[in-house]
Structure 1
């Protein structure tokens, strides 16, 4: 499992105002650990490509790819981003150095804000095909979630639940955007010496709260669907919760 030392890969992924920090021998650190579940049932990459999950709307689904972008974890004190790739089991644990003891509000952003979602800026994201086509305004994905589901005709078909900045392309010459990234506040955490903080990620929530998702109606071509992007953003706000702090 790959771990990210604060502003280790975060810095390599280049936010220009980040600065290098030396990793000393056994420094105090915070380990931020993202665990994934489907309504409480643990989920790892070993569960991929199996029709073993059921959405709130009743569709049986499999997961083939699941990766998403987290930015500006407030505990680091710097702008940063991490690509969490559940399929490759990377980015799921982030080590943050030199956090002083105290009580913190743990916050981070899902995706990139409009100010930071600059087309072509982040070389790592470019290299792993996480960018958004120019015809949709450029910038970067917030999530790529792909799989299969059993449709109303009892056939297996694909879905591409991709989240980006919402774009209204009614007039292709005058694209209109809405920032559909969002801040996640997991509440207060007590930091005292080396601390592990679990962030629980319930994948089932993408399909149910507050918008009950019908894959038979909304399964592909969602990136250019302005209303669908706003709905997905609303659903994502209940995906993340605070787990164990120890």
Structure 2
């Protein structure tokens, strides 16, 4: 009888220990959080506010004086790459930034665990998204129309900057600085059947490592002066309008654009 009682007690203790071990070893599901982005615009460090449009004069790297009337651009596919294990979290959405709205806030439609990540996004749409012609109804009617005519390759604009500048004859002239996919044509003006090459000129912006937590806001600063500066010094007298079907101009915009965006303040 004593042996039976002893066996029962030992069994109870083993079961109890196993339950405690299971409880201690159970995986804890991490809490995920959304990350907010704030897009701001500046001209070589001078903040661009709504009151500056059509009023404040800027001087580009080529020495031309200009004012801005429009500053709109598209970003997409915000991506977080975990510094701990390389896991990738990709938000497959987009934001049309309208500069005259001031600081533009955007929360990508994805939540991530607290941790350190390399954060990046695409300027414009890559070919995969651009080929969804008509697939983004809100963009089809945004800013007049954000989609690109079929003879120019279809898809969507990446950016529209517009304003006025003082040309070499000292006359005030309208300029349009629109970025789309680079498109080469047999003859100009472009028309049905003239397109011979279409090249993706969207690009990825890497903001570096950022620690994300419960209430993180990431500022992305766009220095608009860089579009006209580096590495191609932009001469508005030669390139001020009809840039969408200009293959080389779009390639040069791609080069300059990669120096426009940088990480600003990160708040928690």
TM value normalised by structure 2: 0.78
Helix, strand or coil for the counterpart of 1:233?
Answer: helix
Question: Is the contact made by 1:51 and 1:149 (CA closer than 8 Å) also made in structure 2?
Answer: no
Match of 1:52 among 34, 50, 57: 57
Distance in 2, matches of 1:164 and 1:45, equals 25
Distance in 2, matches of 1:244 and 1:227, equals 35
More helix by share: 2
* Larger Rg, first or second structure (1 or 2): 2
Matched, 1:41 2:55: no
Match of 1:144 in 2: 160
Provide the aligned length of Structure 1 versus Structure 2. 219
- After TM superposition, the runs of 4+ consecutive aligned structure 1 residues lying more than 6 A away are none
Question: Is the contact made by 2:40 and 2:102 (CA closer than 8 Å) also made in structure 1?
Answer: no
Match of 1:77 in 2: 90
User: Where does 1:5-44 land on structure 2 (aligned, <5 Å)?
Assistant: 28-44=33-49
Match of 1:109 among 115, 122, 138: 122
Distance in 2, matches of 1:222 and 1:136, equals 11
Match of 1:124 in 2: 138
Runs of 5+ unmatched residues, structure 2: 1-31, 81-88
Match of 1:3 in 2: none
Distance in 2, matches of 1:98 and 1:135, equals 39
- Give deviations 1:50-82, integer Å, cap 9, x for gaps: 241110111111111110000001146331111
Distance in 2, matches of 1:28 and 1:46, equals 35
Match of 1:19 in 2: none
Q: CA RMSD in A?
A: 1.6
Match of 1:99 in 2: 112
Helix, strand or coil for the counterpart of 2:51?
Answer: helix
Distance in 1, matches of 2:90 and 2:56, equals 41
Report the Cα offset of residue 159 of structure 1: 0.5
Report the Cα offset of residue 127 of structure 1: 1.2
TM value normalised by structure 1: 0.85
Match of 1:166 among 178, 182, 186: 182
Match of 1:14 in 2: none
Runs of 5+ unmatched residues, structure 1: 1-26
- Give deviations 1:96-129, integer Å, cap 9, x for gaps: 4633111111100001111110222211110120
Distance in 2, matches of 1:236 and 1:116, equals 20
Question: Is the contact made by 1:73 and 1:107 (CA closer than 8 Å) also made in structure 2?
Answer: yes
